Structure 1
Amino acid sequence: MTTPKCGALVVGAGPGGTAVLGGLLEQQLGKIAWVDPSFESGRVNRKYREVPRWVQSSERSFKVSGSITNSYINSNTTVKLFQTYSTVWESFRTVVENTPQPNAFTVLDKLDPNKTCRLHYAADMVRDLTDGLVKRDDVLPCRGFVTAASLIDKTPDSPKWMVRVKQDDSSDELEIEASRIVLCTGSHPTKTPLPVSGLDIETLDLDLVLKPSLLAESLPSDEPITIAVVGASHSAILALLNFVELASTSHPQLRVKWFTRHALRYAEYMDGWILRDNTGLKGHAAEFARAELEDDKLATSPAGKIITKIDCSGGPDRETAQYHAQLPDCSYFCAAVGFTKDPLPHLTKDGAPLNMEFDHETGRFHERGSDSVVPGLFGAGIAFPERVVDPYGNVELAVGFFKFMKFLKRVIPSWTGA
């Protein structure tokens, strides 16, 4: 079988990988290989379509800024930014124009552009873009996994990689020669061991907790259970909300112990920029937290009937003491403390594994301990986001559909020498 030769190979078809493909097509590099096991919007579609969701109990309405708001907890991104994502590249606009209606794009058009929305709208948008992009003559879609890639020509201006792809529909591996590889390999919730050893407590994966339809089936509804939730991030607040809803509806004996080291932190809209843009609570998640989870609200709020806050501030000794005192009463444990990169393919140079680190400014990789750039290797998406610094000097990693796109518009021309 003839080895396909491509101007680039993109690993992953989630929001980051799809954005990368569109940007590379803009550079007219010839055929571009695109590798993914499903081409269905990545983890955001597999795991997070129900983030956020409608909370049915009438008690789950709360007062914010003088008005009553149903607890319909939304993503961190407004509809108009999802719409902007879908039209940045010419290849995207072509898909939008040629996709039979109704479609994910026309559905987004019916939503309020200035409000946030459930993630399934965004997942469907990426999937419709993907369905159109894989039909292009200059895209080589490969359903499967990249198992390995070897740098066979280290010439800085014209590197060559030999990439091995395990295809879903074949026992044979496909070899592809590519001038560039872009890793958009995604991330998963960080696994955290129980803070106290020897306890018979079941761990709940955050992915499960953020999918209420499965969560309800995974927990007993006819006996008392107490769930330990660790963290104060956006994901932690969504986890708390899902547990509160279950306790208010199908699981009346469910209670939560919420372990947190610090006060709730919110994104603040400043003059032309956002303080804690990537780390603070936003939208309805922030509204729920302000209305029901703050110290002066929790004791009397509907959420306070379900949640007991365990203050772990004050240093490691106090935190350890709190876990030892409070965790033995819990039946389940859920940590919402961030995300960890998914495993990468086996990458080699001169027959030896590459020991590399990512440059969050350029999207390139450097050999660890050296200024030497790994030729033709790049990263993007949630696993490899841009590092940003706000006017106060705070450093964050920019994660989000539109933020990925903003980063790529800046760096892709430098990847291709444009």
Structure 2
Amino acid sequence: MKRTTIFNLLILLSFTTTIPTTLLKKLKGSVDHNADVTWTIVGAGPAGIAVVGLLLDLGVDGRTITWLDPEFNIGRLGKYYYHVPGNAKAIDYISFINQCHTFQEYSSPALESLRMHDPNEFCTLAVIISPLQDITHYLRGKVVARKNRITRLSFENEEWQVALNNDMQFSSHNVVLATGSHPQTLNYPCKEEVPLDLALDKQILAKLVERDETIALVGGSHSAVLILKYLYELDIQRIINFFKYPIIYYYDMGEGNPTNPNGLRGTVAKWAYTILEKQQPPNIMRIQNTPTSRSSWLPVCDKIIYAIGYERNEIPLLNSNSQQLDYDSSTGVISPRLFGIGIAFPQQATDETDSPRNLIGLLDFMTYAQHIIPEWMKKYPHKHLLRFENLFTIALL
């Protein structure tokens, strides 16, 4: 059997069978190249953590992996959302950890606490953030981790040239962008905006709003309804919720309501169904988000919160708009040996109505990474790379 055939077979088997550790360590996961490093992973959120762990699972030498992040604090998740109720059960977080062999090499009180959690409980994100912080610390010792921000990425001489904010430069054979996203905003006229990142923490939100104020809340999905719940519990005088679509639920709430994979889950779903829709609190006004309704009601609002989703973090691309950066949503390929994953480059699927939806849960990232990383590790023929020379030049601000 040819060597390349054996190599591909080993990659396939690594996700379907148990391979002896000695055999896994022989699997280098790279092709012959002249770059300084084989893999550069940009971003240390959940998706970046999954990529680093799985590359190590496949036997890639940690010395050939460079991991970049300015903070190494689990991205936006760790920075802002520690106290936020999650919309996934603990079993999803446990599965995320258990599906990577390298993660099993490390133990900590936070990891053991997660494994002992009620698997069917919807819990706060702290339950997974603390274990991920411990795993990040462990992984940083197994690869070349640099606490820097990437400032430029260009394709030259069939390799990716990487520049950092400390003026360091190096070449990389493969680059993975796990660069994350940030909350979308609009420019509706209002006196003051409360950022979504802060509004999602109830304790912080309580310090940013007053009980006698009128708060405008734009949006109707999980984040919006969670903040609506917070404002209700804080006894805000009046809350005006501008929404486009009616509330949908992931589960049947007991009365044969329509269900949807993108619907509300957990404590947020229970509150929305039993309090918001059944009791219709008098201090909450839900109105269709139209120009007419905005012109009528925004003038009486003291503050506004946008909970309308997330958009990709800035990745300026010469002669292109980074928000429209094309990638294959089934493989993560942006261009040869440049890949994207995570909330900025999610896998897409269709629901039962054939409507597209992005898979952005932590377990979604791990499952997707297990599927596509072996494909990333395959060799691209040089004839397919030459046409990309000088075509892709990325400057990250």
Task: Output the TM-score relative to the length of structure 2.
Answer: 0.80
User: Which residue pairs with 1:375 in the alignment?
Assistant: 336
User: Which residue pairs with 1:322 in the alignment?
Assistant: 293
Identical pairs, percent: 31
- Separation of aligned partners in 2, 1:219 and 1:38: 29
- Local SS of the residue matching 1:50: coil
Deviation at 1:353, TM superposition (A): 7.0
Question: 221, 230, 233: which one pairs with 1:242?
Answer: 230
Where in structure 2 are the equivalents of 1:192-341 lying within 5 Å? 192-194=186-188, 197=189, 200-221=190-211, 224-247=212-235, 254-268=237-251, 276-277=260-261, 279-294=262-277, 297-299=278-280, 304-312=281-289, 319-341=290-312
Task: State the Cα deviation string for residues 43-76 of structure 1 (Å, max 9, x = none).
Answer: 1111111212xxxxxxxxxxxxxxxxxxxxxx12
Deviating runs (4+, > 6 A) in structure 1?
352-355
- Separation of aligned partners in 1, 2:302 and 2:321: 43
User: Which residue pairs with 2:383 in the alignment?
Assistant: none
Structure having the larger proportion of residues in strand: 1
Where in structure 2 are the equivalents of 1:94-243 lying within 5 Å? 94-95=105-106, 99=107, 101=108, 103-136=109-142, 139-154=143-158, 160-166=159-165, 172-194=166-188, 197=189, 200-221=190-211, 224-243=212-231
Name the aligned partner's letter for residue 382 of structure 1.
I
Question: Is 1:357 the equivalent of 2:341?
Answer: no
User: Which residue pairs with 1:57 in the alignment?
Assistant: none
- Separation of aligned partners in 2, 1:87 and 1:378: 24
2:213·2:302 contact (CA, 8 Å) conserved in 1?
yes
Deviation at 1:347, TM superposition (A): 5.5
User: Which residue pairs with 1:369 in the alignment?
Assistant: none
- Separation of aligned partners in 1, 2:104 and 2:172: 26
- Local SS of the residue matching 1:229: strand
Task: Output the TM-score relative to the length of structure 1.
Answer: 0.76
Give 5+ residue unaligned stretches, structure 2: 1-33, 253-257, 380-397
- Separation of aligned partners in 2, 1:415 and 1:332: 46
- Separation of aligned partners in 2, 1:13 and 1:185: 8
- Local SS of the residue matching 2:123: coil
Task: State the Cα deviation string for residues 153-176 of structure 1 (Å, max 9, x = none).
Answer: 33xxxxx2111122xxxxx32222
User: Which residue pairs with 2:369 in the alignment?
Assistant: 408
Deviation at 1:298, TM superposition (A): 3.7
Deviation at 1:4, TM superposition (A): 8.2
Deviation at 1:405, TM superposition (A): 0.6
- Separation of aligned partners in 1, 2:276 and 2:326: 39
Give 5+ residue unaligned stretches, structure 1: 53-74, 155-159, 167-171, 248-252, 313-318, 366-373
- Separation of aligned partners in 2, 1:275 and 1:406: 24
- Separation of aligned partners in 2, 1:333 and 1:257: 9
After superposition, the CA RMSD in angstroms is: 2.2
- Local SS of the residue matching 1:180: strand
User: Which residue pairs with 2:313 in the alignment?
Assistant: 342
1:8·1:29 contact (CA, 8 Å) conserved in 2?
no
Question: 46, 50, 56: which one pairs with 1:19?
Answer: 50
